[in-house]
Amino acid sequence: MTGTILALAGGVGGAKLARGLAGVLDPGRLTVAVNTGDDFEHMGLPISPDLDTVMYTLAGRANPDTGWGVAGETWSFMEAVEDLGGDTWFRLGDRDLATHVLRRRMLDRGKTLSEATDALAGALGIRHRIVPMSDRPVRTVVETDEGTLPFQDYFVRRRCEPRSLTFRFENIDSVDPSPGLAAALADPELDAVVVCPSNPYVSVAPILGIPAVAGFIEARKVPVVAVSPIVGGRAIKGPAAKMMAELGAETSALGIATHYGARIDGLVIDEVDAALAPDIEASGMAAHVARTVMRNEEDSRDLALETLAFAAGLR
Ligand code: FO1
């Protein structure tokens, strides 16, 4: 394939494969469209966790321990906030804080989230396109057995303890894709769409739920391949397996295949799940077995190449 690739990404797992794709594709050939359903306003600042995780990961500055925020972070701001009796449940590191403050100023001056993202990613030396799924706000809310919680309240403040019943994405039916995502979808050179190994329920669902994206998938002329975020029945990171169990989904790569269904043409699964390939293929989609656990950049690039070759075979 010599055309362009559109990657759909959410949090940590998605960002790692996005970095692998950026490592093997020239800047002009890759657009990474990122979930913004996790975004919220905190202490007057516009927080875009998945955009920041993808940006920091592509810049090689992500905090490897937490998966979010910046490596080598210091916490003087948080200590001072605590001394003054402020909220500290959502931790803003000193370097990460600069991103939120500058994004705040750009948005206040009328820049779109796409423009602010371009400016921040450019300043970090990133040459591949990172775009929000939309420049209009979409908010993921979680209906739990304790009532409706905004996503970060559920995910961070409550540590996903409440039983998650359903996820809703406010405004999703009325938002347009960002200009960068719309351009990628309309690109006559588009070769494939890669759904990165992010949480299908909260990180990928908002992107696929944007009407123009859902319409593209429905009428697609290019292969859509996903990489399973569930390996050996467990999520590599985050609460995807717990959520799947609570939603009554089968917590396995086959459960992921069932969840995506006809919206994808192929699923990349890990070697430990190779025995599931026949069942996945029986459901009507192609399966490709590879090492999908990305421990370093080389793993990410290898998985990116495997995924691109798999997609090329489905064209
Ligand atoms: N996750 C946490 O579990 N605790 C935090 O204090 C926290 C702070 C934080 C700050 C900035 C940011 O971009 C992300 C942050 N995250 C934190 C992660 C965030 O909740 C998740 O990355 C996404 O929302 C899930 O994909």
Mean residue pLDDT across the chain: 95
pLDDT the model gives residue 172: 97
pLDDT of residue 234: 86
Comparing C-alpha atoms, which of 70, 46, 2 is closest to residue 308?
Answer: 2
Question: Range of 123's domain?
Answer: 4-60+113-137+174-313
Residue 49 lies in a domain: yes
The mean per-residue pLDDT over the stretch 27-33 comes to 97
- Would you state the pLDDT for residue 242? 82
Q: What is the pTM of this model?
A: 0.97
94 in a domain, yes or no? no
Cβ(96) – ligand 1 distance below 6 Å: yes
**Residue 163 falls inside a structural domain:** no
Q: Is 93 among the domain residues? A: no
Domain contains 97: no
Does residue 151 form part of some domain?
no
Q: 17: helix, coil or strand? A: helix
11 — pLDDT class (breaks 50, 70, 90):
confident
Q: Which pLDDT score, from 0 to 100, does residue 268 have?
A: 98
CB-ligand 1 contact for 156 (6 Å cutoff) = yes
Q: Is the C-beta atom of 69 inside 6 A of ligand 1?
A: yes
C-beta of 10 in contact with ligand 1 (< 6 A)? yes
The two tokens of residue 170 are: 């406010």
State the distance from the centre of ligand 1 to the C-alpha of 13, rounded, in angstroms: 14
Residues 251-297: tens digit of each pLDDT = 899 999 999 999 999 999 999 999 999 999 999 999 999 999 999 99
The rounded percent of the chain whose pLDDT value lies above 70 is 100
- Residue 55's pLDDT is 98
Residue 41 clears pLDDT 80, i.e. is over it: yes
pLDDT the model gives residue 149: 95
- Domain total in the chain: 1
Q: Is 51 domain-assigned? A: yes
**Residue 299 within any structural domain of the chain:** yes
pLDDT digits (tens, 9 = 90+) for 48-68: 999 999 999 999 999 988 889
* CATH code of 296's domain: 3.40.50.10680
